[in-house]
Amino acid sequence: MRAIYTSAAVLLFTFSFAQKQFVVSSADKFGVVNENGIEIIPTKYSSVEPFDEIHPNWSKVGVNNLFGLYDKSGKLMVEAKYESIEKYGIQTKGWALVKKDGKFGFIDDSGKEIVSTIYDKVGAFGEYTKDWMLVEAKGLKGFVNKDGRIVVPVKYVDISKFDDVKKNWALVKDQKEKLGFIDKTGLEVIPVVYDNITAFESKKEATDIH
């Protein structure tokens, strides 16, 4: 069970046999001091989680229903500005899913917001291609890569799986219900201008794709 310190108490938790930290409270606010009595997290938070719970070296703190992160030296790594911060590595190694103003994005293991918090939905790497993640905003979809860079603009209402029709291609549909294809570089290899696309299977047969 994960411990979250929110009640009036002085509590002890241990990172190693050589180092100890104390959660302290004053006027229903919480912080952390080390065994030398040095305050490493200011006593101003409504919640403090143990180090290592969300990140190998960081503690999640909360104030006014917003959350941030401190490292073990007391350096503020992520300002308390997110409605939620999920555990690192759930979606992808070195990233944590965050929520701000009802929108989702990601921070990396330096605390930098690597994917802006502008999306209504985010997927996971490997669902479409191992190096891209599907993102969605206002009903439109696109892809970001592992550098957090947009590689396919968020402008399609639908994107099929790659390789369903042709290797390395995915069928896309725009807001005008027009169809086309993108490849795994993000290029529109067939312009998105068609009402229907049919794939020839042989000289005598054809398959209606959409």
> Tokens 């046999």 label which residue?
17
Q: Mark the ranges of the chain whose per-residue pLDDT is less than 50.
A: 1-3, 5, 7-18, 204-206
What's at 74, amino acid-wise?
G
In the chain, where the domains are located? 1-82, 85-156, 158-210
Could you tell me the two tokens for 96?
């944590």
pLDDT at 202: 54
Q: Is 31 exposed, middle or buried (0-12, 13-18, 19+ CB in 10 A)?
A: buried
pLDDT at 91: 86
pLDDT at 186: 96
Kindly report the pTM of this predicted structure.
0.84
| Chain-centroid distance, C-alpha 114 | 9
What digits encode the pLDDT tens for the residues 150-189?
A: 999 999 999 999 999 899 999 999 999 999 999 999 999 9
pLDDT at 64: 96
